[in-house]
Structure 1
Amino acid sequence: MPFALYMLGLAVFAQGTSEFMLSGLGPDIAADLDVSLSTAGTLTSAFAVGMVIGAPVMAVIGRRRPRRTALLAFLVTFLLVHVVGALTTSFAVLLATRVVGALANAGFLAVALVAAIGMVEPNAKGRATSVLLGGVTLACVAGVPGGALLGQIWGWRSAFWAVALVSVPAVLAILRSVPAGTADTAGAGGARGELRSLRAPRLVVTLLLGALVNGATFCTFTYLSPVITNVTGFSESWVPALLALFGVGSFIGVTVAGRFADARPVPFLLTGTVALLAGWVLFALTAGNPVAAVVLVLVQGALSFGVGSALITRALYAATGAPTLAGGFATAALNVGAAIGPVGGGIALSAGLGHRSPLWVSALLVALALAVGAVALLRSRRQPPSGSESRWSSPQVNSATQRRG
C-alpha cells in the first residue's frame, strides 16, 4: 500500500478521535462553559448532523478541485477549528466549530475514499478502504480513551489540542505524497450525471445495508457502558478497557475485510452478516456472564466493522458511474446509521425494556439488513444486470472490462 494512503489513515484517526471523544468530555465542557450537560450533548448531535449533510455536499464541492487540494483544504480547516475550539470560552463558538469540523471531516473522508482507491490496483479497493477505516477503529482503541485521559489530567481543551497536533503530520505528508493531479471530471454528465448514477437500485441497496449494519454497531457501542455495568456487573473502571477492546475487534475486522471483500464479496458478506446477527442475539442472552460479555465485545467489534467496511467497498465497486461522489454518499450512509442506531436504543430504554434492549435493537437492525440483502441478491440472480452495474460482480471482471475499454 502507498505511504500516502497510511497518512490519509492518520488523518482519519484524528477525525475519528474528534467525533467520539466528547463522550468522555461532556461534563467538563458543561462545567467550564456554564451550560447544562444536555446542552453540552448537542455538540455530539451537531457533529453527526454535519457529517450526514456534509458528506455528499462536500463531495460535490471537492470534485471541482484536484484531490490533493481538496484534501488539504478540508484537513487544514479541520485542524484550525480544533484550535479555535481549544481557545474559545463561548459555547456558541464551540458548537459552530463542531459543525464546521464535521463538514470538513465529511468532505475529507469522501475525497479520501476516492483518492485511496485511485492509488491502488482496480482489484484492491477493499484493502485501500480497510486502511482508511483502520484510522476510525484505532480512534476507538487509542484516541477516545487517550482523549478522556488528557481531559482528566489537563482539562478538555487538551484533547482538542491533541487532535490538531495529530493532524499536522498528515497535512505535511499529503503535501509531499499525494499526487497533485487535476480536478475530477469523471462520471457521465458531470455532478448531475453522477447523482443520477447514484440512484441505481443495487447501489441504493448497498448503502441501505451499510446504514443498517452501522446503526446496529453504534446502537450497542453508545449504550455499552450501562450494559456492562448494570447487566454484566462490571464496575465503571472497566468501561474504558471494554470500549478499547471493542476497538481492537473493529481493527481486526476491517483488516480481515480488506483481504476478502475484493476477492469473495458475496460469501464474506453473507457469512459475516449471519454471524453478526447470531452474535448480537447471543450477547443479549448472555450479557449477564462476564466471560461471555468480554468475548462478545471483541467478536462483535470485529464482525460489525468487517461487514460494514466490506459494504463500503461494494458501494465503491458498484458506483462506476459516480467515481467522485461515491465516497461522499457512502460516508453519509454510515453516519445515517450512526444516528438512527443510538436513537433506536434510546427508545427501547425509555420504553422500559431493560438495559439489554440496545443489544436486541442491534440484532433487529442486522436481521433487517440480512432480509433486504437476501431479497436483493435473489432478484439479482434472477435478472442478471450488466457487468458495469452489478453490485455483486467480481472486481477482477470489472478490472478486465476497464482494461478492454
Structure 2
Amino acid sequence: MPVVLHLLALAVFAQGTSEFMLSGLVPDIARDLDVSIPTAGHLTSAFAVGMVVGAPLMAALSRRFARLSALLAFLTVFLLAHVVGALTTSFAVLLATRIAGALANAGFLAVALVTATDLVAPDAKGRATSTLLGGVTVACVAGVPAGALLGEVWGWRSAFWAVALISLPAVFAVARAVPAGRPDPAGPGVLGELRALRSPRLTVTLLLGALVNGATFCSFTYLAPLVTDVTGLGTAWMPAVLALFGLGSFVGVTASGRVADARPVPLLVAGSLALLTGWALFALAAAHPVAALVLVPVQGALSFGVGSTLISQALYAAAEAPHLSGAFATAAFNVGGAVGPWLGGLAISAGLGYRSPLWLSALLVAVALVTGAVATALRRRSAVRDVAGRSLVSGKRPVR
C-alpha cells in the first residue's frame, strides 16, 4: 500500500479518537454539564447525524476544489471544533461542536476514501479501505483508552484538547504527502453520480452497513456504564476495556482486508452470524467479568471486520460514482451510528437496564442477516427470470 494511505490514516486516527472517545466520557460529561447519561449519549448520535448529512454535501462541495485543499480545510475545521468543545460550559454548544466536527470529519473521510482507492489497483479496494480505516481501529486501541484515562485524571475536557493536538501533525502530514492536484470537474457530474447510486446492489449494501454499524454503536456508546454497573468492574478498568475493543477492531479490519476483495460473501455471512451470537452471549454473560473481557475484543473484531468489508463492497458497487461513493458509504454507516445510540438510550430510559443495548445490537444484526438473505433470493429469482425470458425470445428451452 502507498505510504500516503498510512498518512491519511493518521488523520483518520485523530477523527476516530474523537468519534469513539465519548464511550468512556459519557458519565463524566453528564455530571459536569448536569444532564442524564442518555442525554449525554446523544452527543454520539449528533456526531453521527453530522456525518450522515455532511458526507454527501461535503463530497459534492469538494468537487470544486483540489483534493489536497479539501482535505486540509476539513481537517482544520475539525481541529477548531474540538478547541471550542474543550472550552464550553454549555451542553448545547458542545452538541453544536460535535455536529460541526462531524461535518468536517464526513467531508474528510469521503474525499480520503476516494483518494485511497484511486491510488491502488481496481481490484484492491478492500485492502485500501482497511488500511485507511486502520486509523479508526488504532484510535480504539490507543486514542480512546488514552482519552478515557485523561478524562479519569483531568476531566473530559482534556480528551478534547488531546484530539485537537493530535490533529496538528495530521494537518502537516496530509499537506506534505497528498499530491496538490487540481479540481476534477470531469465525469458524470453530481446528478449523474446520484443516478449511478440508485443500483439495487448498492442500496442493499448500504442498508446492511447501517444495520451492522447501528448494532456496534448501540452497545459501544453505553459500554462504560455497562462495565461499571453490570459487570462490576471499577472505572479504572475502562481504559483497558476500551483498549481491548480497539485491539479486536484492529485485528478485524486487518484480517478482513486480506479476504474482502476475494471472498466477501462468505466473510459477511459467517461474520454476521458470529456477530449476532456474540451480542446475545454478551447480554447473557455481562455480569461475569471474565466473559465480558473476552467478548469485548471479539465483538470489536467482528463488528469492524464485517463493517469494513461492507464499505469496500459499497465502493465496488458504486464504481460509476467516483466522487460520491465514499460519501454515501460514510453517510449510510453513520445512519447506524446515529440510530444505534438513540435506540440504546431509549431502552435505558425505559428502565430496561444497561444490558438492553446488547439485545438491541443482536436484533439489528439479525435484521441485517434477514435483509441480506431476502435480497439474495430476490436477485437469484430475477436472474432466473432473465434467463428464461432470453430463452423464450431465442426459441430455446431454459436449462434446469
Matched residue, 2:281: 282
RMSD over equivalenced CA pairs, Å: 2.4
Aligned to 1:126: 126
Tell me the distance in 1 between the aligned counterparts of 2:371 and 2:356. 23
The aligned runs of 1:195-274 (5 Å cut-off) are 195-274=194-273
Inter-CA distance 312–234: structure 2 relative to 1 (3 Å threshold):
same
TM-score (norm 2): 0.88
Change (3 A) 1:2 1:41: same
Q: What count of residue pairs does the alignment treat as equivalent?
A: 382
d(CA) in 2 for partners of 1:65, 1:108: 13
Tell me the secondary structure at the aligned position of residue 321 of structure 1: coil
User: Would the aligned equivalents of 1:26 and 1:37 in 2 still touch at CA under 8 Å?
Assistant: no
The whole-number CA distance in structure 2 between the counterparts of 1:62 and 1:97 is: 21
**Displacement of 1:31 after TM fit?**
7.1
CA distance in 1, matches of 2:202, 2:352: 35
Aligned to 1:141: 141
Aligned AA for 2:379? S
Once the 2 structures are TM-superposed, how far is the Cα of residue 348 of structure 1 from its aligned partner? 3.0
Distance 1:25 1:354, change over 3 A: closer
The equivalent of 2:396 in structure 1 is none
Structure 2: distance between partners of 1:86 and 1:345: 26
Tell whether 2:1 aligns with 1:36: no
- CA-CA distance at 1:51 after TM superposition: 1.5
Counterpart in 2 of 1:330? Answer: 329
Once the two structures are superposed, residues 24-62 of structure 1 have per-residue CA deviations (whole angstroms, 9 ceiling, x without a partner) of: 445666777xx4234766544432321221111111111
Give the conservation status (yes or no) of the 8 Å contact 2:148–2:238: no
Distance 1:26 1:275, change over 3 A: closer
Offset from partner CA, 1:62-106 (integer Å, 9 cap, x none): 122221111111112212333344455666654443322211111
Kept after mapping to 2: 8 A contact 1:16/1:139: yes
What secondary structure is seen at the aligned counterpart in 2 of 1:37? coil
What is the identity, as a one-letter code, of the residue corresponding to 2:81? V
Q: Is the 8 A contact 1:349 1:357 kept in 2?
A: yes
How far off is 1:206 after superposition?
0.3
Partner of 1:300: 299
Question: Which structure 2 residues correspond to residues 4-403 of structure 1 after superposition, within 5 A?
Answer: 4-25=4-25, 35-38=33-36, 43-87=43-87, 93-185=93-185, 187-188=187-188, 190-384=189-383
Output the CA distance in 2 between the equivalents of 1:338 and 1:45: 6
**C-alpha distance in 1, partners of 2:265/2:294?**
26
Contact 1:184 1:324 (8 Å CA) reproduced: no
Q: CA deviation at 1:336?
A: 0.9
CA 347–44 in structure 1, closer or farther in 2 if over 3 Å, else same: closer
Residue 198 of structure 1 contacts residue 326 of structure 1 at CA under 8 Å; is this kept in 2?
A: yes
Distance 2:302 2:341 in 1: 19
Structure 1 residues 205-235: Cα deviation after superposition (integer angstroms, max 9, x where no partner)? 1000000001111111122234334443333
Taking structure 1 as reference, are residues 230 and 115 closer, same or farther at Cα in structure 2, changes over 3 Å only? same
- Counterpart contact for 1:187–1:321, Cα < 8 Å: no
User: Deviation per CA, 1:147-201, whole angstroms, max 9, x where unpaired?
Assistant: 233334444443333212212222222222212223233542x001111111211
Task: Rate the CA distance shift 1:239–1:130 in 2: closer, same or farther, 3 A.
Answer: same
Are residues 284 and 41 of structure 1, via their aligned partners in 2, closer, same or farther at CA, if it must alter by over 3 Å? closer
In percent, how many aligned pairs have the same letter? 72
CA contact (8 A) 1:187 1:324 kept: no
Change (3 A) 1:275 1:323: same
More displaced 10-residue stretch of structure 1: 267-276 or 309-318? 267-276
Residue 184 of structure 1 aligns to a residue whose secondary structure is coil
Q: 1:229 and 1:82, CA in 2 relative to 1: closer, same or farther beyond 3 A?
A: closer
> 1:160/1:220 Cα in 2 relative to 1: closer, same or farther (>3 Å)?
closer
Q: Which runs of 5+ in 1 are unaligned?
A: 386-405
Describe the shift of the 1:40–1:225 C-alpha distance in structure 2 as closer, same or farther (beyond 3 A). Answer: closer
CA distance in structure 2 between the partners assigned to 1:339 and 1:108 by the alignment: 19
Q: Relative to structure 2, which stretch is displaced further, 88-97 or 342-351?
A: 88-97
Q: Secondary structure at the match of 1:383?
A: helix
Give the drift of 1:362: 1.0
Unmatched 5+ stretches in structure 2 = 385-400
Higher mean alpha-carbon deviation, 36-45 vs 131-140, is at 36-45
**Secondary structure, counterpart of 1:104 in structure 2:** helix
**In the aligned structure 2, how far is the partner of 1:279 from the partner of 1:183?**
46
Counterpart amino acid of 1:228? V
1:347-375 Cα deviation digits (max 9, x unpaired): 33344444432222111111110111111
